[in-house]
Amino acid sequence: MKRFKYADERISEKDILVAIPSSVIGVGILSLPREVASVTKFADGWVPLLIGGCIVIFMTWAIAKFASGFRHQTFLTYASKIVTKPVAIVLTILFAASSIVITAYQVRKISNIAQQYLFDQTPIEIVALTFLLVVVYAVSGSRAGLFRINIMFLPIILLIAFSVIIFNLGWFEIKKLMPVFQTPPTDYVKALNTSTISYLGFSILWFHLALVGQPKKAPKMAALGMCIPVGLYIIIFLVCIAVFGNAVTSNLLYPTIELAKVVEIPGGFFERFESIFFVIWIMAIFNTTTMAMDISVIALNSIFKNTMKLKIIFMLAPVVYLIGMLPQDIVTVDLLGAIMGNTIVILNIFVLLLLTVIAKIRGVKRNE
C-alpha cells in the first residue's frame, strides 16, 4: 500500500494559534467548574481562573519565545547545546513520559464519561481501546495533518460550546452570582492550583515549534491561542454558577455536561441536546489526545533516531492503554490527573528556567 505524503511537513504560525487551544480544551473543562466551585464561595472562582490564565498565557509566551529562538531545531538538539546531551536526554524522556500519562488519562477519562452518559453496558476497556486505536491511526499519519485536523475541529468545538451557553441563557439567575469576593485568600490559592492545571497543553511548544517555517510571530500567536481556553473556561464557569448555583455545581461530577443536558430547544422536537454536545466534545478530546501522544512520539524519536516512527507508536500504544486502565475508580483517576497536572506544570517551569538561565550563562547563540 502506498502512503500519501504531504508536500511539506512545515506548519505556519497560524497553526500554532489553533493548536494551543486544541490541545488545552479536553476533558478538563467537563469537571473544572466543580473543582473550582467546591473551594471557592459563590461565583468567586473566576478570579483564580483569570489569574491562573494570565500565568499560563505568560508561560506560553515565554516558552514560545525561547523555543522559536532555535529555528528548525528539535528540543533535543538545542537542549543538548545548552545543558549537555545526557541532561537533555533526561529532560526529553521526562516530557515523553508525562505526555504518555496525559494520553492515558484522557483516554481513561473519556471512556468513563462515555460509559456514564452514552453506553451503559459497553465495558470501558472496549471504549478506551476503540478510542486509542483512532488516536494511534491519527498520530501515525502526517504531523502536518494533525494540525489540519485541529484547524478543522476547533471552530466546531467553539460553536457547540457557545450554543450550550446561549441555550442556557433562559435558566440564568444573576442573583446566584452574588455576593462577590467573599472567599478567604487561602482558598483562592487552592483554586489557583486547580485552575492552572486545567490549562495544561503548552508542552507542544517545546517540540512542535521546530516545524514552524517562520517562527517570528509564534510567541504572539501562542499567547493569543491560549487566551481562547482561558476566556472559554471563565465563561463556562460563570454560566454553571448562574444556572446551578454554587452548591449544585460543586456536587455535580461533570457540570459542563449537565449544562448541555439542561438545554431545551424551544419547539420540543429536539430533546437530547447533550448527545450532539458529546459527539463534538469527543472531537476536542481527540485533538488533545493526539497532540499529547505526538509529543511523546517526537520526543522518543529524537532520542532513538534510527527507529521508525510507526514502531515507536506501536510500542507506546499498549503502554498508554495499560496506564489508562490501571486506576480502579474515579477517585484514583482524578488523583492521577492531579499528580500528572502538577508534575507537568513544575516540569515546564523548571525546564524553562533551567534552559534560559544556563543559555544566558554559557552564552549559547540563537540562530535568529
Partner 1 sequence: MNKVCLFLLCCMSLLLTGCWDEINIEERGFVVGISLDLAEEHTEDNPMITVTNQFVIPGGLGAPNEDSSGDQKPFNNLSIDGESVFEAIRKMSTMKGNAPFFEHLQLIVVSEELAREQKLFARTMDLFLRDQEMRRSVRILISENKAMDILDIEPDSEPLPVMYINNASENNDKVAGLLEPLRTGDLHEYLLEKNNYLIPRIFALDNEIQFNGAGVFNGRTNHLVGVINDEEIVGLNLITGDLKGGFIKFEINDQLMIYEIRKAKSNIKINADDTNNIHIDIVISTEGNIGEMYGERTLLEKDYLEEIETQINGKMESLAYDVIQKGKEELEMDFFGFGEMLQQRHYKKWEKIKDNWDEGENIFKNTTVKVKADAIVRTTGATDKVKDWESE
What residues make contact with partner 1 under the rule CB under 8 A? 116-123, 126, 175, 178-179, 182, 244-245, 247-248, 251, 258, 261-262, 264, 272
SS3 209: helix
Q: Which is nearer to partner 1, 119 or 350 (CB)?
A: 119
Provide the CB-side half-sphere exposure for 310 (13 A, CA): 4
Facing residues of 11 across strands?
A: 212
Minimum CB–partner distance for residue 208 and partner 1 (Å): 34
Map grid coordinates 527507529 to a residue. 307
Q: Which is nearer to partner 1, 247 or 315 (CB)?
A: 247
Minimum CB–partner distance for residue 47 and partner 1 (Å): 16
Q: What is the residue type of 225?
A: G
Minimum CB–partner distance for residue 252 and partner 1 (Å): 8
Minimum CB–partner distance for residue 22 and partner 1 (Å): 28
Beta strands in the chain (DSSP E): none
Q: Output 58-62 pairs: Cβ under 8 A, ≥24 positions apart.
A: 58/223, 59/202, 59/348, 59/349, 59/352, 60/20, 60/202, 60/205, 60/222, 60/223, 60/225, 60/226, 61/219, 61/220, 61/222, 61/223, 62/352
Q: Which is nearer to partner 1, 37 or 285 (CB)?
A: 37
Identify whether the C-beta of residue 112 lies closer than 8 Å to the C-beta of residue 331: no
Minimum CB–partner distance for residue 262 and partner 1 (Å): 6
Q: Which is nearer to partner 1, 111 or 195 (CB)?
A: 111
Identify whether the C-beta of residue 198 lies closer than 8 Å to the C-beta of residue 338: no
Minimum CB–partner distance for residue 258 and partner 1 (Å): 7
DSSP 4: P
Q: Which is nearer to partner 1, 122 or 307 (CB)?
A: 122
Contacts of 107 (CB under 8 A, 6+ apart): 128, 131, 132, 135, 289, 320, 321, 324
Q: Which is nearer to partner 1, 171 or 190 (CB)?
A: 171
Q: Which is nearer to partner 1, 126 or 159 (CB)?
A: 126
- DSSP string of 291-335, one letter each residue: HHHHHHHHHHHHHSTTS-HHHHHHHHHHHHHHHHH---SHHHHHH
Minimum CB–partner distance for residue 163 and partner 1 (Å): 18
